Every structure is written in C-alpha cells, then in structure tokens.
Amino acid sequence: MDTKPSFFDEMFEGTELPRQPYSRYNDWFVGEDAKELRKKSAEAEAFFRRIGITFNVYGQQDADERLIPFDIVPRIIAAREWQRLEQGIEQRVRAINAFLHDIYHRQEILRAGRLPREIIARNEAFLPQMIGLNPPGGVYTHVVGTDLVRTGENEFYVLEDNARTPSGVSYMLENRETMLQMFPELFTQLKVRPVSSYPQNLRRSLSDCAPPAFNGDRPVVAVLTPGIHNSAYFEHAFLADQMGAELVESHDLRIVDGRVAMRTTLGYQAIDVIYRRIDDEYLDPLNFNPNSLLGVPGIMDVYRAGGITIANAPGTGIADDKALYSYMPDIVEFYTGEKSILQNVPTWRCSEPDSLKYVLENLKDLVVKEVHGSGGYGMLVGPAASKRELARFEKKLRARPSNYIAQPTLALSTVPIMTKKGLAPRHVDLRPFVLVSPNRVQITPGGLTRVALKEGSLVVNSSQGGGTKDTWVLGD
C-alpha cells in the first residue's frame, strides 16, 4: 500500500494547531474574511504588474516576460531559528572567501590533500587571470545568496551557494513593501524585523571595498547590466535606483587614463566600484570571450592595477560549482577550524565511477543537476520524471558524467499558500542575502522564499513555475 511522504509543515502542527512562530498570525488569519483575503491577493498581483516586476524566461518565445506569482501568506521564522541560521551562514561565507583567496594564491587546501587538484584544474569557472591578484579589501564575494531548505523542526540544509551574481533581492524588498501596504496592522502586532535597509547597506558595503586608486570623499558606484533583455534587468535597474548608483551598459563605459569611466552629460567620469551583473566570460573581450559585446575591453587590466573594484570578484564562480559543493564541510573546517554549523545535502559526484553506478541504478529516486547549472534548468527530479525522461537523462549521464551531481530527494518543508479553497501546503526554499565587506559580514533578516505553486512539486524556481513569499524574521 502506497503512503504519502511526511513533510514538515512550518505553520501547522497537526491539522489546526499553529506552531509557535505562526501563533499570532494565525489568530489574525482566522478572524479575516476569506473573500477579502483573495481580493487582497489579486491586488498584490495588480501592484506587481503596475510597477513592472517581471522576469524573462529563456527559450520560450510565446511568453518571454512573466510576472512572478506572489503569495500573501508569509513565511515566518522565529528569532532563535534565525540566530542559528545567521551563525551558520556567516561561517560558510567566511570560509568561501578564505577558500577563494587560497585557491588563487598558495593553494594550501590542495597541498594538504583536502581537495582533489582536478576539481580546480578542470573547472571552467577557475580563472588563471586571478592567480596572485588581491581584490580590494580582500573581498571576493561581496554579495552571496545561500540557498537553504528545511526538512524538520531544527533541520536546515544548504542546497547550494550562489557566489557569482546571486539574484532575487529586489523581489525580497518588493514582497515586503507589498505586504506593508496591504496588511499594515500585522506589522504593528508582530515584531517583524525590517529588510528595507538592504540597498543602503549594499551601497555602504561596496563603498568599503573602494580600490587603491580611489581618493575622493564618496566612491562612485555603478551597476553593470547586460541590458533590458536580461532575465534580471528589473532587479539591476531597481538596485541602481535604490542605491543611488548609476545603471550602465558596456557602451556607456570606456577606459580613460587607466580608469574605467562612464559617459555623463559633463564628459566621462571615473567609476570606483562596479557591481557587475554579467558573467566572467563576457566581462572583458580582451581577456576572456573576444566576441563579447557586454563587457568593457581592458577592465581586467585596470582591475589588476588597482583602478577599479569588481563585485563580485572575477573567478568567484568556482565556489558555485556543484561538484565542489560536496567538499564544503571540509572547506569550512579547513579555513575556520570548526565543524560546519549548516549541513550539506548528501551528494554523489557522477565523475566518480562508483557514484555514477549508484546514480544510474537509482535514477528514479534522485535529483540530478548540472555542475554549472542554475535556475532549475538542465536538472532531473527522478520521482517526478517519466520513463522517457529517465531514459533520456541516462544517456546524458553516460555521455558526460563529470557534468552532473546527484542528491537524494529531500522532504522539503511546506508553508501554506492561499488557494480558492483556502490554505494548502506547498514546498519552499529560502535564499538569504549576505553582504561582505573588509570588516564584517551582514545578513539581511529574511530573504527570498520561493514556493512551488504546483501541488506536490519540489521545483521552486520562478523559471519553472514557482512563486515567492514575504519572509518574516521575528524579533526577540
């Protein structure tokens, strides 16, 4: 007889009894008119559409620009739960930064045999151009998005580390703004920690990493975007506006007197810090992809000479590598001298023959991901796949095993969403946003909760039909 898997419901213990973080919210919710709440839900969608919070879906010509669905039931995290997460995230981010410095300098972790050399040598995200280069302030990962999943009361796992160009923070901020407008009374009843200072904190954090060439009162910060056709363009424009920074594209920039300068009505003005939202490959056609039209020719030479700060630093993408992810507990311990506070998801590296054999034999029970994949693309969720999809993916695995890792299908926690019939549980993950400057690591109390809107689905990515929720961290 088939039995449904048991999932941890973050809001309810049993069928009706709310868990402690949701207690006061539930008291409010049961006193509200369901029809009015559904009306509020429609108002939220209209609000998002009015201000243009959309994203592009690649490879789908019929609907390349979509509204991200927003659910009005918040995800609520207790103060003590968040404190533990903060400690684990900070430990992990510090270890990643130390790892990146080491891997581009003395490579002590390789000398110690804690990491196989081939995982670096064969990694396309490793940039030889960064060897021996010290980024301003010693910071590689200025902005990090650490994806977390929950499986129980005190069980959180890191699903992946996003140290390249993590996106989604604009949705975190707009989700909160929407909830504040629609349910102001809730924020007076519950001690919800604010997230609105993120843009100012980002500006301050980037400014603290000004390059040696900076000699003014206030560093000039710019956001480099690929342009309006990029899936996260809304976010690029939003953050530039909120930070009081310039939004620039490659055609706005040139090298002037050894500095990266942007075109203004008064001529070209030197930039101190570029928050780039383009990949390494396209950053500089003279040093990387010669066909790139998105980058700035010679920017890496200015960077080497101390004339510009690039955030995040080139070459940080190696920390996003899903094969490297399986070594993160060792990396944390090597650089901090402590056991990892946050757990990793068990991972099979398909490049290893024994692991590949296991994965092929158990494909229907596993989640398989591309080593450099993101956005939910190129992955297989075994339990939800058809026999044809499994057979197709098996061929991919056999052809390029080193391109994949596999993980067990986790029993992701659920948080209710509003449906026409009332509350219904859906699976969620969480991306907290971390800012790193020379003197501190700052974690915004909340983050982007992504929710799988389809019943039973474990895929939360917006590109795969997922939505978002406001994330409330309660004060003490």
Our CA angle for 231, 381, 468, nearest 5°, is: 40
Q: Are residues 167 and 304 in the same domain?
A: yes
Distance CA 124, CA 450 (A): 29
Is position 6 within any domain?
Answer: no
Q: Are residues 372 and 336 in the same domain?
A: no
Q: Are residues 100 and 62 in the same domain?
A: yes
Distance CA 243, CA 436 (A): 16
Is position 93 within any domain?
Answer: yes
pLDDT in tens, the chain (476 residues): 344 557 999 999 977 799 999 999 999 999 999 899 989 988 888 887 777 665 554 444 444 556 788 999 999 999 999 999 999 999 999 999 999 999 999 999 999 999 999 889 888 899 999 999 999 999 999 999 999 999 999 899 999 899 988 889 999 999 999 999 999 999 989 999 999 999 999 999 999 999 999 998 999 999 999 999 888 898 999 999 999 999 999 999 999 999 999 999 999 999 999 999 999 999 999 999 999 999 999 999 999 999 999 999 999 999 988 889 999 999 999 999 999 999 999 999 998 999 999 999 999 999 998 887 655 567 888 888 899 999 999 999 999 998 899 999 888 999 999 988 889 999 999 999 999 999 999 999 999 999 998 888 877 776 667 899 999 999 98
Is position 83 within any domain?
Answer: yes
Which of 394, 409, 424 is the last residue before a domain boundary? 409
> pLDDT tens for residues 117-176?
988 988 889 999 999 999 999 999 999 999 999 999 989 999 989 998 888 999 999 999
Which of 355, 385, 409 is the last residue before a domain boundary? 409
Q: Are residues 244 and 363 in the same domain?
A: no
Is position 299 within any domain?
Answer: yes
Q: Are residues 216 and 359 in the same domain?
A: no
Q: Are residues 258 and 402 in the same domain?
A: no
Q: Is 282 exposed, middle or buried (0-12, 13-18, 19+ CB in 10 A)?
A: middle
Number of domains in the chain: 2
Is position 4 within any domain?
Answer: no
> pLDDT tens for residues 196-230?
999 999 999 999 999 999 998 999 999 999 999 88
Q: Is 76 exposed, middle or buried (0-12, 13-18, 19+ CB in 10 A)?
A: buried
Our CA angle for 320, 325, 329, nearest 5°, is: 130
Q: Are residues 127 and 87 in the same domain?
A: yes
> pLDDT tens for residues 263-294?
999 999 999 999 999 999 999 999 999 999 99
Distance CA 371, CA 394 (A): 16
Q: Are residues 285 and 384 in the same domain?
A: no
Q: Are residues 128 and 228 in the same domain?
A: yes
Residues in the chain: 476
Asked if the bond preceding 312 is cis, omega within 30° of 0, the reply is: yes
Q: With DSSP H G I counted as helix, E B as strand and the rest as coil, what are the percentages for the chain, rounded to 5?
A: 35, 25, 40
Distance CA 150, CA 467 (A): 18
Q: Are residues 245 and 220 in the same domain?
A: yes
User: Which domain, by its residues, includes 359?
Assistant: 346-409
Is position 94 within any domain?
Answer: yes
Is position 1 within any domain?
Answer: no
Three-class SS state of 238: helix
Q: Are residues 395 and 430 in the same domain?
A: no
Query: Token match 């280069």: residue?
Result: 133
Q: Are residues 261 and 374 in the same domain?
A: no
Which of 409, 431, 462 is the last residue before a domain boundary? 409
Is position 356 within any domain?
Answer: yes
Domain CATH code at residue 365: 3.30.1490.270
